[in-house]
Chains A and B, each alone.
Chain A
């Protein structure tokens, strides 16, 4: 039972000097949205560990910190997010609906997602909405090849903003766009210029329609591949396989997107997207007869060569699941995707005691 809407958390990442803070300032400056956005900035610096993360409320203040949220700043990140949630609940941050976390230039956003998914309170009250990655125009394959952090940031993105295009000739933007597309064909790419409207920066990304075609000639270290799906494997059975796969190999699966058949539906399918161990809420899409033959498929972006193993395993699982009566509790809504503690943990005396000091925001409905 959900009593409060989840607060949306957006991750803003990008390599050192790519223009994250500038972008965030332009987003908040004069924006009608600013009062409902809390900002958390994690900088890779030398400040004492105790002050690893300092929160600031939108443009009323700036925060500065040392340590990287995806590595040693992990506990501090958790604390800061909990503290923001507490302040939203207590009214100190009235009306806040979104939190923007600006990561350090060298952080791996998918590890931050792991922190949130792994912490019961965070997963319960925060919904990771977008990962926006800033890439400077002029970034080339050699530079990306040298810094795995940059590759992870690009691969995890739902939206990629190309900045500083005005400092380069026009063709440079297209070159960088095609480079990032080759690493992450699933992200929406925005080329920033003087006409860019910043208001929808953290609006849900409009990913390329359908399952994108892949360029085969890219030089990233990632294994990006496409698997065909047909109507023989539908959502309930597929979710069994996918959850087991992510449980075992989520560390290696940076991003995936799939369009999966719904059992018995001729007009709808399910779009599924995820980052590492985390799967976002599935969405329904309408498909018509002409799309039906080609609509279904999966794209994976993996940190290691996994195409053969995953495609063999999926084919095997298809055979295994053929003619199986499938009974999955809450099949449609359930895959969901809370990877934190099960709701039964709420009755665990240890958990109840541990949570006793938490403010009302965290009081939990009994099942």
Chain B
């Protein structure tokens, strides 16, 4: 899904959890569930150590991978 284009370069993977929530998977196998997009970006920042910044030039590169 679209969100994965934004987070795949960070080694994260996001899945739709039963149409109700997001399930974020880290490369080491850990997962975290969040209930909406606002929470998703908080969780991605926690797991990755830095936020996904749609204004940064790197974001474009991340999106292309």
The distance in angstroms between the C-alpha atoms of A250 and B49, with both chains bound, is 18
Give the number of residues in A that approach B within 8 Å (Cβ atoms).
Answer: 38
Q: Which residue of A lies closest to B7 (CB)?
A: A244
**Beta-carbon contacts of A334-362 to B below 8 Å, as 1s and 0s?**
11111101111000000000000000000
- 19 A-B pairs with CB atoms under 8 Å apart are A237-B2, A240-B2, A244-B6, A244-B51, A247-B38, A248-B53, A306-B55, A309-B55, A325-B1, A329-B36, A330-B19, A330-B36, A334-B35, A335-B38, A336-B38, A337-B38, A338-B35, A342-B34, A342-B36
Within 8 A of A (CB), among B4-47: 5-6, 16-22, 33-42, 45
A227 at the interface (CB under 8 A from B): no
Stretch of A85-93, A211-219, A314-322 that contacts chain B:
A314-322
A residues at B contact (CB < 8 Å): 236-237, 239-241, 243-249, 279, 306, 309-310, 313, 316-317, 320-321, 324-330, 334-339, 341-344
Give the number of residues in B that approach A within 8 Å (Cβ atoms).
Answer: 32
Q: Is the CB of B1 within 8 A of A244?
A: no
Q: Is the CB of A335 within 8 A of B37?
A: yes
Instruction: Knowing A309-B55, A329-B17, say if A316 contacts B60 (CB, 8 Å).
Output: yes
Residues from chain A with a CB closer than 8 A to the CB of B37 are: 239-240, 243, 328, 334-335
Q: Is the CB of A320 within 8 A of B20?
A: no
Q: Which residue of B lies closest to A309 (CB)?
A: B55
How many interface contacts (CB-CB < 8 Å) are there between A and B?
Answer: 107
B residues at A contact (CB < 8 Å): 1-3, 5-6, 16-22, 33-42, 45, 51-55, 59-60, 63-64
Residues from chain A with a CB closer than 8 A to the CB of B21 are: 329
Instruction: Choose one: A246, A248, A324; the contact of B5 (CB below 8 Å).
Output: A324
Instruction: Knowing A240-B37, A342-B36, say if A313 contacts B54 (CB, 8 Å).
Output: yes
The distance in angstroms between the C-alpha atoms of A246 and B21, with both chains bound, is 20
Q: Which residue of B lies closest to A325 (CB)?
A: B1
Instruction: Choose one: A240, A341, A343; the contact of B6 (CB below 8 Å).
Output: A240
Residues from chain B with a CB closer than 8 A to the CB of A240 are: 2-3, 6, 37
Instruction: Knowing A329-B22, A330-B20, A342-B35, say if A247 contacts B51 (CB, 8 Å).
Output: yes
The distance in angstroms between the C-alpha atoms of A143 and B63, with both chains bound, is 45
